[in-house]
């Protein structure tokens, strides 16, 4: 394997009590948005919430993550699948990339099937910007069911 990539994860504050099980499982199994690291090791250098709308912790947390060597920031799948999805998701992506020069990835673990179904029924992900946001975490049905 080649060089280890250092990452940080930002989760939605609604899930602040989340123990990170699906994210860490996906990191270990290289599922969802972690599939991009199939031939690399991953080191987690930071894991925190946005601190609630409008995401005041994003500025400070990413600064600390970068000081700890973060090269990539993952905006957790919970920001994508929440009801409603995070209204600041694209802004966080653009802000982090612009301010810190870091790569920013939408998602962590694969989207669970139950979330995909309800968001399809609600029409949440119809706009064109969702194609890029969902790309790394949509996975196949079998994988989505495994993360239900």
Neighbour-count burial for 111-141, b at 16+ CB within 10 Å, e otherwise: bbbebbeebeeeebbeeeebeebbebbbbee
Global pTM reads 0.95
pLDDT (tens digit per residue) in 116-128: 999 999 999 999 9
pLDDT (tens digit per residue) in 31-59: 999 999 999 999 999 999 999 999 999 99
Give the pLDDT of residue 102: 98
Answer whether the bond into residue 84 is a cis peptide, omega within 30°.
yes
Give the pLDDT of residue 2: 64
- Measure the CA–CA gap between 144 and 110, rounded to whole angstroms: 6
Domains detected in the chain: 2-146 (3.40.50)
């Amino acid at each position: 394997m080649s060089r280890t990539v250092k990452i940080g994860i930002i989760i939605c504050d609604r899930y602040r009590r989340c123990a990170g099980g699906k994210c860490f499982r996906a990191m270990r199994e290289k599922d969802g948005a972690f599939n991009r690291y199939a031939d690399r090791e991953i080191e987690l250098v930071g894991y925190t919430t946005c601190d609630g709308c409008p995401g005041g912790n994003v500025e400070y947390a990413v600064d600390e993550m970068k000081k700890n060597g973060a090269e990539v920031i993952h905006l957790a799948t919970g920001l994508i699948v929440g009801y409603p999805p995070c209204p600041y998701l694209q802004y966080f992506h653009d802000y982090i990339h612009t301010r810190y020069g870091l790569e920013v990835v939408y998602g962590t673990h694969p989207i669970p099937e139950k979330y995909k179904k309800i968001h399809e029924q609600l029409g949440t992900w119809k706009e064109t910007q969702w194609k890029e946001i969902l790309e790394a975490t949509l996975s196949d049905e079998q994988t989505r069911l495994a993360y239900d």
